[in-house]
Amino acid sequence: MKRLSFLMTVFCLVTEVCAGVIPEMKFKRLDTREGLSNSMVNSIIRDSHGYVWLGTGYGLNRYDGYRVRTFFSYDQDTTTLRNNRIDEIQEGHGGRLWLKQGMNYSLYDPVTETVDRTPARWLNQQGIIGSIESIHLDSEKSYWVKTYEDGFYYFDPTKDLVKHFSFGYGPQEFPKEFGVSAYAESKEGMILVSTYGELMCLDGPHGKVVWKEDYVKRALDAYNDYWVTVDKEDNIWVITHSTGTYIFNKHENRWYTTLTEFMRAKGFENVPDNILVWEICYDNKGFLWVATDHLGVLVLDFKTKEWRQFTNVKGDDSSLPDITCKHLYLDQLGRMWVATYKNGVAMCSESMSNFVSLNIGDINTICEDRQGYYWIGRNDGGIIKMDPKTLEPVDTFSKRRLGVTSDIIVGSYAARDGSLWFGTYEGGILKYKDGNWSNLRTTDPGSALVTNNIWGITEDRWGNIWVGVLGGGAVRIDKQTGKQRSFISDNSVLNTVWTNSISTASNGWIILGNSEYFALIHPGNFRVVNGWLAETKGTKAITISSATSHAVMDSRRLIWLCSPAGVAVFDRKNNQTTLLDMKSGLHGSNAVSVTEDTRHTMWVATEHGVSNIIPQQQEDGTWTFIVRSYNDRDGLQPGPFNQRAIYCSRDGHLLVGGQEGLDIISTLSLNENNGKENPVFSGLELFSQLVEVGAEVNGRVILDEALDQQRSIKLKYNENQFTILMASDNGGVNNNTRFAYRLKGFNDMWIKTSNGQADITYMGLPPGSYTLCVRILHDDGTMDEEESELDITILSPWYRSWWAWILYALIIGLLFFGRKRIAQVLKGLGKKEDKPSADAEVSPAEDDQEEEIEEAVMMEEEEGRSEK
pLDDT > 90? residue 286:
yes
841 pLDDT band, cuts 50/70/90, is very low
User: How far is residue 94's CA from residue 72's CA, in Å, rounded to a whole number?
Assistant: 23
Q: Per residue in 134-183, pLDDT tens? A: 999 999 999 999 999 999 999 999 999 999 999 999 999 999 999 999 99
Q: Per residue in 495-504, pLDDT tens? A: 999 999 999 9
DSSP category for residue 441: -
541 pLDDT band, cuts 50/70/90, is very low
DSSP 274-305: ---EEEEEE-TTSPEEEEESSS-EEEEETTTT
pLDDT > 70? residue 705:
yes
- Higher-pLDDT residue of 475 and 717 is 475
Identify the pLDDT of residue 197: 95
Identify the pLDDT of residue 35: 95
H/E element, 263: helix 259-265
60, 71 contact by CB (below 8 A): yes
Mean pLDDT computed over 727-737: 90
User: How far is residue 746's CA from residue 725's CA, in Å, rounded to a whole number?
Assistant: 19
- Higher-pLDDT residue of 146 and 862 is 146
Would you tell me how many other CB atoms lie within 10 Å of the CB of residue 285? 12
Q: Per residue in 182-214, pLDDT tens? A: 999 999 999 999 999 999 999 999 999 999 999
Identify the pLDDT of residue 412: 97
15 pLDDT band, cuts 50/70/90, is very low
Identify the pLDDT of residue 863: 52
Of 30-44, 359-373, 537-551, 849-863, give the lowest mean pLDDT range: 849-863
Q: Per residue in 301-353, pLDDT tens? A: 999 999 999 999 988 888 999 999 999 999 999 999 999 999 999 999 877 77
671 pLDDT band, cuts 50/70/90, is low
β-pairing verdict for 602-606 and 609-617:
antiparallel
pLDDT > 80? residue 246:
yes
Cut 0.85: pTM above it: no
pLDDT > 80? residue 581:
yes
- Residue among 340, 330, 293, 329 at smallest CA distance from 32: 340
H/E element, 657: strand 653-658
Q: What is the 3-state secondary structure (H, E, C) of 808-840?
A: HHHHHHHHHHHHHHHHHHHHHHHHHHCCCCCCC
User: How far is residue 852's CA from residue 288's CA, in Å, rounded to a whole number?
Assistant: 113
H/E element, 135: strand 132-137
H/E element, 630: strand 623-630
856 pLDDT band, cuts 50/70/90, is low
DSSP category for residue 66: S
860 pLDDT band, cuts 50/70/90, is low
Mean pLDDT computed over 449-454: 97
User: How far is residue 349's CA from residue 282's CA, in Å, rounded to a whole number?
Assistant: 14
Mean pLDDT computed over 631-650: 92
CA 135 to centroid of chain Cα atoms: 34
What is the share, in percent, of the chain residues with pLDDT greater than 70? 90
DSSP category for residue 350: G
Mean pLDDT score of the chain: 89
- Residue among 391, 379, 384, 472 at smallest CA distance from 420: 384
Q: Per residue in 295-314, pLDDT tens? A: 999 999 999 999 999 999 98
41-46 sheet: strands from edge to edge: 41-46, 52-56, 60-63, 68-71
244 pLDDT band, cuts 50/70/90, is confident
Q: Residue 547, by phi and psi: left (phi above 0), alpha (psi -120 to 50) or beta? A: beta
β-pairing verdict for 41-46 and 759-762:
unpaired
- Higher-pLDDT residue of 800 and 115 is 115
What is the share, in percent, of the chain residues with pLDDT greater than 90? 76
Would you tell me how many other CB atoms lie within 10 Å of the CB of residue 484? 17
855 pLDDT band, cuts 50/70/90, is low
pLDDT > 50? residue 761:
yes
- Higher-pLDDT residue of 677 and 797 is 677
Q: Residue 502, by phi and psi: left (phi above 0), alpha (psi -120 to 50) or beta? A: beta
Mean pLDDT computed over 506-512: 95
